[in-house]
């Protein structure tokens, strides 16, 4: 699987509880719930015609880096975010309950 070829402008939209980006006028996003020191990722969506361009991976990376910067523990209920964390092991320590080294 190839990574993205374009750099996206991703923003946190706290009013909608999601990280989002627009590509060609279409919205892609990663939804979350923020509760205390935890961020729970619930759903990631990329329009079908934009799939295969690494957009969801960029959303996941941006969201996880933001969680790290904010000191939040991650609860990855979203299947895509969960799979991304399994593939990108540097984010595993962010997961709530991670046993550590």
Q: What structural domains and CATH numbers belong to the chain?
A: 11-91 (3.40.630.30)
State the average pLDDT over residues 71-75: 97
pLDDT cut 90: percent of the chain above it: 87
Indicate the pLDDT class of residue 66, thresholds 50, 70 and 90.
Answer: very high
Sign, CA torsion 4/49/66/40:
negative
Indicate the pLDDT class of residue 53, thresholds 50, 70 and 90.
Answer: very high
Report helix, strand or coil for 46: coil
Sign, CA torsion 9/10/11/14:
positive
pLDDT of residue 29: 98
Q: Is the pTM above the cut of 0.85?
A: yes
- Partnered with residue 76 across adjacent β-strands are 41
Indicate the pLDDT class of residue 2, thresholds 50, 70 and 90.
Answer: very low
């Amino acid at each position: 699987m190839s990574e993205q070829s374009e750099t996206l402008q991703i923003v946190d939209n706290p009013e909608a509880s999601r990280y989002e980006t627009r590509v060609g006028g279409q919205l892609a996003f990663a939804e979350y719930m923020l509760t205390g020191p935890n961020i729970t990722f619930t759903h990631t969506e990329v329009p079908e015609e934009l799939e295969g361009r690494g957009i969801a991976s960029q959303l996941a990376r941006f969201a996880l880096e933001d969680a790290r910067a904010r000191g939040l523990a991650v609860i990855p209920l979203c299947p895509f975010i969960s799979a991304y964390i399994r593939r990108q092991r540097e984010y595993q320590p962010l997961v709530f309950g991670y046993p550590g080294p």
